[in-house]
Amino acid sequence: MARKIRFFHEQVEKAGMTVGMRAMLDKGYDMDELEGKLEELEAEMLEANGNSERLARSYNELMELQLVLEKAGSFFDSARAEAAAESFGERAYSVPEAMDAPLLESALPSAAASAGRLGFVAGVIPQEKLNGFERLLFRATRGNMFLRQTPVGSVRDPATGELQEKHVFVVFYAGERARTKVLKICEAFAANRYPFPEDPSRQRQMHGDVTTRLRELRTTIDAGQRHREGVLQNIAFNLEQWATQVRRCVVGQSWARVVRCVVGQSWARVVRCVVGQSWARVVRCVVGQSWARVVRCVVGQSWARVVRCVVGQSWARVVRCVVGQSWARVVRCVVGQSWARVVRCVVGQSWARVVRCVVGQSWARVVRCVVGQSWARVVRWGKTRVRREKAVYHTLNKLSMDTSRKVLVAEAWCPLAAKPRVHEALRQAAQASSTQVSTVLQPLMTADPPPTYFKTDMFTTCFQAIVDAYGIARYREVNPAVFTIVTFPFLFAVMFGDFGHGLLMMMFAAYLLINEKALLKQKLDEIFDMLFGGRYCIVLMATFSIFTGLIYNEFFSMPMTLFGGTRARCFINGSVDEAIRDMRACPEHGGEVAFPKGMPPYPFGVDPVWHGTKSELPFLNSMKMKMSILLGVVHMNLGIMMSLFNNLYFRDRLSTICEFIPQMIFLNSLFGYLCIAIVYKWLSAKQTDLYHVMIYMFLSPGTVDEAGFLFPGQAGLQVFLLLISFAAVPWMLFPKPFILKKRHEASERQRSMYDMVGFDGDEDEEARRGLVAGNAASSSHAAANSHGGGGGHGHGDHFDFGEVVVHQMIHTIEFVLGAVSNTASYLRLWALSLAHSQLSAVFYDRVLMMTIGLNNPLAMMIGFFVFFCATMGVLMVMESLSAFLHALRLHWVEFQNKFYRGDGYAFAPFSFEHHE
C-alpha cells in the first residue's frame, strides 16, 4: 500500500495538482477495503495512462500523414501545372505535317511510357538527419533518384512524443533494386514513411478521411484527459487521509507485523537468517536476560518512551522513515548517528563485541565464513565488479538505437577464428536473460580496411611489440616479427659477444623466468616491468651472446681453450720447437709463430693464439668487418624477398616486375658480388685487397691489375654486373608510372560507355561524370594501393600522373642510395663488437690484473670491486642498451623499409583485463 501511495503522489505531482488536506470526520475504510480501493484506483490509472499514450501516438502519426498529403500533394500539383503549360505551348505553335496525323495527344507514342514508370516514397524525417539521408541516397543509387523536401516546422514525434523540427520528403526512383535501397535507408535513418496515392482524387479523399479521424481522436483524447483528471482530483483529495491511515495501521500493529510488512518475512526468521539463532537466544546470549527485562533494566521505562528517548522522535515518525528508505539510511536519518554508535548506546558494547558474542567469531572471520574470502579481497572484488559494469555500460553507449525495431545495433570487428565463440557467447547471453528475441550476428560489407590482429603468447609478445613500436602492420601484410625472433637477438649478440657476459645475462633471465608467476601478480615499476616483459627476448639474447662469445673465444676478454690449445707453433730456424708452449715467448727465443702446413684449423671459433698479440686487432677488425657486410647483405635480401611475398599475396604483378626484380639485381650485382669475393678470398687464402677491387670496378671497368686479381674472367664479370646494375635504375623509375597511366585511361574509356539512366539536366550530367571518374580512379589504384612500392598516389580517388612520377622517382633514389648507406650501416656490428671487446680488455688488464700484480690484499679487493662495478654498470647495462638500440635500428630502417608499410591499426577487442 505504501508503494501505491507513492505512485499516486507521483501522478498527482506530474499532473500539476496539489494534495488536498481533508479533515477526517468520517470513519473511512478499514485496511482490507482501503487495500482493495487502492488496487482498483491503481489499475484504473495504469489503464488511463496506457490509453492516453496510444491515442497520442496515433494522433501524432495522423498529423504527420496529413502534412505529407498536403506538402507532397503540392509537389505533384506544381509538376502537373508545369507539364500542362509546356504541352499547351507545344500544341499552340505546332501544326500537323499530314492530314492523317492524330488529333489527340494520347494517340501519339509516348517515350516516357516506354521508358518505364517511376516509383516514389513519401514520409517525414527529422531536420538534423536530412543532409546525411540525402547523401546516402545519392551514393546508394549512384545518383538515380530525385529528392524533393520541404520543412514543416515543429512536430511531435510519434515514438518519443517530443517536439522536433521535421521535413516532408518525396524520393523518386526507377527500378525494384533502387526501391529496396531507398526503403532500407529510410529505415536506417528512422524516417517515418506514409502511403501517398498518385491519383489526385484519392489524395483529396484520403486527406478528408485523415482530417475526420483527427477530429475524432482529438475528441477522444480530450474526453480521456477529463476522465483522468477527475480520477486524479479524487485521489488528490483523499490521498493525505489514505497515507495517514496506512501509517497509523502500520504503527498500530506489533513490531513483528511491521517487520513482515517492510522485509517480507517474520522478525524471528530474519534474526535466524542473519545470526543463525532465535531472537530470544540472541538477547539472552548478549545481555544474559530476557528482552522485557533488558528494556526495563536498561531504560527503566516503557518501550515507547525508550524509542522517544533514544531517537528523539515519535514512534509513528520512525515507522514513516523506516518504510520509505534503506536500512543504513534509516539508521542515520532516524538516530543521527552511525549504526555502531547506536549499538553501543542500546546494548552497551561495541558492534564487533556484539558480533563476537552472538556469532562466536570476529567480524573478519564472519565475512570470511559467509563470503569465503577476506574482507580486503571482498572490497577488491567489489571494485572490480564496479569497473566492469562501468566498462560494459560505456561500451553499450557506443551502440546505435534502432527506434523502429526497438533494438541496439553494434558494428564491430571480429577475428574469423573467434566467430563461433562469439556466436556461442551471444546465444548463452540471450538464454541467460530469458529474452524472446535472439541476437543476430550478420557480416557486413565495408570499404574500411580491417584492423590487424596477431595471436601471440608470452614468448612472442615482446618481439611483436618491437615491430609494433615502428608501426602496426597493414591488414594481411607480412609480419616481420616472425623473423625478428631470430635475427634481433642474433644481431644483438654479434655486437655483445662474450661468453662471460652472456652467462651473466642468462642468470638475470633465469631469475625472471623462475619468479615469473610471482612477478606477474605484483605491480612492478616502469623500468623493471619493461625488462620483465622482454624476459624471453633476454633469454635469446643471452643464448646468442654465449654462442658468439665462443666464436670470438672471449670470456671477460680472456681467451679460452675449451676446444683444445692453439694450432700455431714456434718455428726456430725453420723447424718447430715443441718445448715452447706459450707462443708469446717465441720471439724472445728468436723464433716465429706460424701455422704448420697440413695442420687442421681450430675446431670452433678464433684460435686463442691471436689474443694478446700485436696482430690481434688487425686480424679481428678484418674478420668482423667482412662478417658484418655478409650479415647485412643477407638481411637486406631477406627484406626484399618479403616484398615479393606481399606482391604475390595481393596479386600485384606490376610491383613484382618493376620493383622486386630490379631491386634484387641492383643490390646483388654490387654488394652481392662483394660478399662472394669475401667468401672466395677466405677459401682461397689470397691476399687480394677487396677495397682495391671495388674501387677500380667503377673507376676502370674491364681492367683488373695484379693487386685486385681474384679469379680468371673477373674483368668481364665486373663489366656485366655494372651494366645490369645501371639498367636496373631506369627499370625501377619509368615503367610503373606509365603502366598505371595506361590502366587509368583504359578504365576511363570502359566506364564512359556505361549507360547511366535517370539523369536529366546539366547538374545531373556533371554528377554522373564525377561519379564515373571517381570509380575509374579507384579501380585503377586497386593494384597500386597494394603493398608493392609506389602505390597509393594522389589524394583520395584522384589520379595525378605527375604525382605518381615524383613518388616513383623518390622511391627509386631512396633505394639506390639506401643500398649503399644501409650496407655501410651494418658496419656498426663490427664497431660495437670491437668497442665491447676493447672495453672488456681494458677493465680486465688495467683494473683487475694490475691490482693483483701489486700483491696487496686490500688493493686486490678494491680492484675486484671496481672491476665488478665497471663490468655491471658499463658493459652489462650501458653496452647492452647500446647494442639493443643499434639492433633495433637495423631492423626498423635497414630491414623493414624494404617491404613493411606499417600504416595499419591494431585490433582492440573489449576485454575486462584493461579495466582491472
What is the pLDDT at residue 816? 94
Query: pLDDT tens digits, residue range 288-331?
Result: 555 556 555 544 555 555 555 545 555 545 545 544 455 555 55
B/e letters for 394-410, b = 16+ CB within 10 Å, e = fewer, are eeeeeeeeeeeeeeeee
Query: pLDDT tens digits, residue range 618-676?
Result: 888 899 999 999 999 999 999 999 999 999 999 999 999 999 999 999 999 999 999 99
Who wins on pLDDT, 500 or 51?
Answer: 500
C-alpha count within 13 angstroms, C-beta hemisphere, residue 621: 7
What is the pLDDT at residue 568? 73
Pair type for strands 569-572 and 407-409: unpaired
Query: pLDDT tens digits, residue range 235-288?
Result: 777 777 777 766 666 544 545 554 455 445 555 565 565 555 665 565 555 555
- Retrieve residue 467's grid coordinates: 615491430
Distance CA 916, CA 908 (A): 16
Describe the chain by its helix, strand, coil percentages, rounded to 5. Answer: 65, 5, 30
Least confident interval from 280-284, 470-474, 811-815: 280-284
DSSP-based three-state secondary structure for 443? coil
Under 8 Å between Cβ of 577 and 589: yes
What is the pLDDT at residue 312? 53
Q: What is the mean pLDDT of residues 406-412?
A: 84
Query: pLDDT tens digits, residue range 105-162?
Result: 434 444 344 344 678 889 999 988 888 888 888 888 888 888 888 888 888 888 888 8
**Nearest Cα residue to 137 out of 175, 104, 172, 182:** 182
DSSP-based three-state secondary structure for 757? coil
**Nearest Cα residue to 441 out of 417, 456, 457, 425:** 425
Helix axes 327-335, 339-347, angle to 10 degrees: 60
Query: pLDDT tens digits, residue range 202-231?
Result: 888 888 888 888 888 888 888 888 887 888
Cα angle, residue 564 at apex, residues 562 and 568 outer, rounded to 5° = 130
**Is the pLDDT assigned to residue 694 strictly greater than 80?**
yes
Percentage of the residues of the chain whose pLDDT score is greater than 70: 73
Query: pLDDT tens digits, residue range 735-763?
Result: 999 999 999 888 888 777 654 434 444 44
**Is the pLDDT assigned to residue 503 strictly greater than 90?**
yes
Under 8 Å between Cβ of 152 and 67: yes
What is the pLDDT at residue 367? 56
Query: Is the full-model pTM beyond 0.85?
Result: no
Query: pLDDT tens digits, residue range 840-891?
Result: 999 998 899 899 888 899 999 999 999 999 999 999 999 999 999 999 999 9
